[in-house]
Structure 1
Amino acid sequence: MLIRPTRRQFLASAAALPLAGLARPARAAVAQMSIGTRQIEVLGRAATVYGINGYDGQLGFYGRAGDRFQLGIQNDTDKGIVTHWHGQVMAAEGQDRSYTGGGELAPGAVDQMDFELTPGTHWMHSHQLSEQMLMAAPMICREADAEDIQEHVIMLHDFSFKTPEEILAVLGGSDMHAGGASGGMDMAGMDHSGGDMSGMAMPGTAMTDGMMVHANDVAYDAYLANDRALADPEVVQVEAGTKLRLRIINGGTATAFWIDPGLLASTAIAVDGSPCQPLAAKAYPMAQGQRLDLLVEIPPEGGAFPIFAQVEAARMRTGIVLATAGAKLARLSDMAEADSPNLDTSFDAGLRAVNALPERAGRTAHLMLGEQPGYRFTINGKVHGEDVPIAAKLGERLELMLMNTGMMMHPMHLHGHHFQVVDVGAGRFNGPRRDVVAVQPGGVVTVAVDLDKPGSWFLHCHHLYHMATGMMTEVLVS
């Protein structure tokens, strides 16, 4: 999954494609990417999942700063799909189906895409329950000033042999966006009509700073890094005495992780595809949908070095191994010695944006994040469909004050924009540029955004089942 320079030639050849906007439902003549099903093995069992494949058969898309995402993407499944180009802020509303009225890419149909790529570590995924079934892939645009060193992408997933509809039923919720969901595709080719769902819900409740908090409301069968569990991890060949850039994507639908580089010296250089002032930590929190670019240093003596991703507030973990030639590989446990902590805002509080927003006047929208009986998650007491969208003007500076009154962390994502974190409860600061921010239970986080393009832009929790059961609204820019 290394960045391949030959992709530039491919993108150049794609420039001759017709620019037809979103073609639906007619089938276009040419497609360079496809969405379909594939087989992987998890814990010794076969599983059918989705995949978003590039022209060369590899998952995802890789380009360079200045390139355009100018190609056709074809739906080779039998279900309608709502695609989302997460982090691609130069994509106009009509180039991303995940907005009100965006519709589905019909089976067999092709969307003709054409927009300039946003540099950084981003990703693509469906905006439906099918995201749980690995309908997601990297979408990397290598920065013009990226250091000329080896790079590797790590895509994290939480995995269940149950369908997302079964998971949601056990949680007690109902999907408010059911159109074009997974359609009941069975991930293991098994009949679940009378299956035992005991053990699906996970307790994970504790007291933190005097408040009851809860994490991991789905008990997954496995956690994957690049489609592999830690029992059989990916091993990446590296050279002793060199640096490596890890582009890490949390594609988990209901799981936050702590990234543990172990013995390696490490530095965060970008979050959510936006550069930050270098910051070193022993472990790095990643909420659902977030990305982390990490520089790690391979010691001159070489060896084998696991990079762990440990589940928030739990012992389960996944990861990959970086190894120099001839290094001995030890068997790794998928359980850490102790639970990791709950995510908090301490890492974001230490981050500083490289490209901070200029000081200017704006207005503030107050958003209360809550939960109701029946597994309903709300914004200002309303579920999506009952909510009042946030009306805004093109060019306006808008601040979103996100107040979490519930007991679960909410990773809040705004489509079409990169905001700046300006307050995590300890005073104003020039925090990181992001498109997903974690709001911990009882926490208040304020982000600022310059609304630079018209359209309907979803604002939602990136915990898939919280979004599906109501925690979504829109910012309407006109």
Structure 2
Amino acid sequence: MNRRSFISSAGALLASKSLYAALPMQNMQSSSSSHGKADHTLRIEPCTLEISPGVTVKTLAYNGQVPGPTLRLREGVPVTIDVTNASNDPDIVHWHGLAIDSLNDGAMEEGSPMITPGTTHRYSFTPKPSGTRWYHTHAAAYDNLSLGTYTGQFGFLLIEGREQPAHYDQEINLAIHHWEPSFVPMVETMREQSSNSPLTTGSDVGYKYATIQSHRLGSGEPIRVKQGQRVLMRLLNASATENVVLALPGHKFTVIAMDGNPVPNPKSVEVLSLAVAERVDAIVEMNSPGVWVLGSTLPKARDMGLGIVVEYAGKKGTPVWRDPAPAEWDYTQFANTVASTHAPDETFVLTFRDNGPKPGSKFDTWAINNKSWPDIDPLMVESGKRYRLVFRNGSGDQHPMHLHRHTFEVTQIGTKPISGLMKDVINVMPLDTVEVDFVANNPGDTLMHCHQQLHMDYGFMQLIKYRG
């Protein structure tokens, strides 16, 4: 079973209630819960969310809330999580950033089972590594923008290890999401609203609203802080397709971890960039009393709601926004500036391109080395060896590349060699090249893909398979 087969087998069902209706039932069976009570339970169900006064969105969520419940697990301690699907479509949960087995990882391309409506599936795994991970649906959406990561199916997954990331007085988890998606031409007006800034035209997804946590800017409770506090902010971009750039006037973010992994060179910056699915852990020193806006650097994005108020104790008034100084986002500033000392055993050069729409489709097909999922051969690896993936972006779009079940080391961006920066998502800018290394230390089918839902649905995926 695969995403592309949905289109070829469903045909006219593309506009119907569910693309999954065209799939063989034996591929959709979800295993029943094992005996005994699970450690955690999640329920996929319809949810009506009031994101600002008088503005509601209807979506799917976990346990009727957005984000879903924060799951705190202990590294190395086995856990069971029961997921009940109370929606009308088959679904699946991906445990993003964990080095677990393929069956429990939550990607149907790896063999994880879909959860049919009205059934409960038990995930059983031992969480590792520690750090800020997250969980979300890994279902396809295609032209149905009420499914997949366009919905409210996401939540923080915090894996606690022996050591704290840093000293802090308050912890705040902030998830970003965009709402009311629609297909729009990628014209100049759309580019002005999008942090993706694509260089090409074509069909894309636009949004009406944006939230941090579950509210638009100015709605919901502010972040309340005290002068002198050190606040740990965990920021997650849970959008389906939109990259974001954030600032908090009068303050700096000391980045201590990316995608849950400590950075070699913690550094203070005024602006944070988060591609789809990326996480940043940052310490913010609360040393500028007032009422501020933590939000997008784009005015139109803040108008959509992408922001939240930060209020110091004893301070009132209209929240203040000040544009930060222009700054280019540069991963290399958080890494070691020397090349990795580990040579790869093998290198895969992967070129990404937009192949345009297929006959009868208005959506572009994405290709890796001129082949699209599922008509693309897997990359074959051997356990214990080190592999270099050279991501060559031959398109005008940004691509947040995600590798399942493994963490990779970023070894070069453009012409600049670096080392020590460990991630599971890396944003590859238009016409740029990024190199990453991973050790094949977790046997089993492993999915690699662009995390933008529209790109993933239309071919931008490839499997990595272990030999033997």
In structure 1, the residue matched to 2:436 is 447
Give the Cα–Cα distance (whole angstroms) in 1 for the partners of residues 83 and 229 of structure 2.
37
Give the Cα–Cα distance (whole angstroms) in 2 for the partners of residues 215 and 153 of structure 1.
35
CA RMSD of aligned residues (A): 3.3
Give the CA deviation at 1:233: 4.8
- Describe the shift of the 1:59–1:358 C-alpha distance in structure 2 as closer, same or farther (beyond 3 A): farther
In structure 1, the residue matched to 2:310 is 322
Give the CA deviation at 1:116: 2.5
In structure 1, the residue matched to 2:51 is 42
In structure 1, the residue matched to 2:398 is 409
- Describe the shift of the 1:23–1:33 C-alpha distance in structure 2 as closer, same or farther (beyond 3 A): farther
- Describe the shift of the 1:38–1:200 C-alpha distance in structure 2 as closer, same or farther (beyond 3 A): farther
CA contact (8 A) 1:231 1:332 kept: no
CA contact (8 A) 1:41 1:47 kept: yes
Whichever residue aligns with residue 39 of structure 1, its letter is T
Give the Cα–Cα distance (whole angstroms) in 1 for the partners of residues 324 and 201 of structure 2.
17
Aligned length: 411
In structure 2, the residue matched to 1:24 is 30
In structure 2, the residue matched to 1:121 is 132
Give the Cα–Cα distance (whole angstroms) in 1 for the partners of residues 324 and 202 of structure 2.
16
Give the Cα–Cα distance (whole angstroms) in 2 for the partners of residues 322 and 332 of structure 1.
9
In structure 2, the residue matched to 1:70 is 80
In structure 2, the residue matched to 1:79 is 89
In structure 2, the residue matched to 1:369 is 352
In structure 2, the residue matched to 1:98 is 107
Give the CA deviation at 1:465: 0.4
User: 1:251-293 CA distances to partner (integer Å, 9 max, x unpaired)?
Assistant: 0111001121221132000000100121111211111010000
CA contact (8 A) 2:410 2:435 kept: yes
In structure 1, the residue matched to 2:247 is 260
Alignment equivalent of 1:438, drawn from 427, 439, 445:
427
Give the CA deviation at 1:66: 4.4
Report matched runs for 1:23-422 at 5 Å: 24-26=30-32, 30-31=37-38, 32-34=40-42, 35-43=44-52, 44-53=54-63, 59-89=69-99, 91-100=100-109, 101-117=111-127, 118-128=129-139, 129=141, 130-146=148-164, 147-160=167-180, 162=181, 167=182, 203-204=190-191, 212=199, 217-276=204-263, 277-299=265-287, 302-310=289-297, 318-331=306-319, 346-352=329-335, 359-374=342-357, 375-422=364-411
- Describe the shift of the 1:201–1:302 C-alpha distance in structure 2 as closer, same or farther (beyond 3 A): closer
Give the Cα–Cα distance (whole angstroms) in 2 for the partners of residues 312 and 246 of structure 1.
22
- Describe the shift of the 1:419–1:76 C-alpha distance in structure 2 as closer, same or farther (beyond 3 A): same
CA contact (8 A) 1:243 1:297 kept: yes
Give the Cα–Cα distance (whole angstroms) in 1 for the partners of residues 175 and 201 of structure 2.
25
Give the Cα–Cα distance (whole angstroms) in 1 for the partners of residues 62 and 298 of structure 2.
25
Give the Cα–Cα distance (whole angstroms) in 1 for the partners of residues 398 and 253 of structure 2.
26
Give the Cα–Cα distance (whole angstroms) in 2 for the partners of residues 204 and 262 of structure 1.
24
CA contact (8 A) 2:46 2:60 kept: yes
- Describe the shift of the 1:149–1:155 C-alpha distance in structure 2 as closer, same or farther (beyond 3 A): same
- Describe the shift of the 1:454–1:420 C-alpha distance in structure 2 as closer, same or farther (beyond 3 A): same
User: 1:37-84 CA distances to partner (integer Å, 9 max, x unpaired)?
Assistant: 2221135222222222499x9623123444443332222223211221
Give the Cα–Cα distance (whole angstroms) in 1 for the partners of residues 262 and 171 of structure 2.
16
- Describe the shift of the 1:58–1:458 C-alpha distance in structure 2 as closer, same or farther (beyond 3 A): closer
* Partner-residue secondary structure (3-state), 2:441: coil
Whichever residue aligns with residue 88 of structure 1, its letter is L
* Partner-residue secondary structure (3-state), 2:231: strand
Whichever residue aligns with residue 424 of structure 1, its letter is I
TM-score computed with the length of structure 2 as normaliser: 0.79
* Partner-residue secondary structure (3-state), 1:441: coil
Give the Cα–Cα distance (whole angstroms) in 1 for the partners of residues 74 and 50 of structure 2.
32
* Partner-residue secondary structure (3-state), 1:420: strand
Question: Gaps spanning 5+ residues in structure 2: where?
Answer: 1-27, 142-147, 358-363
CA contact (8 A) 1:419 1:433 kept: yes
CA contact (8 A) 2:32 2:121 kept: no
CA contact (8 A) 1:53 1:60 kept: no
Give the Cα–Cα distance (whole angstroms) in 2 for the partners of residues 272 and 222 of structure 1.
25
Q: Which 4+ residue blocks in structure 1 deviate beyond 6 angstroms? A: 312-315, 336-341
- Describe the shift of the 1:116–1:80 C-alpha distance in structure 2 as closer, same or farther (beyond 3 A): same
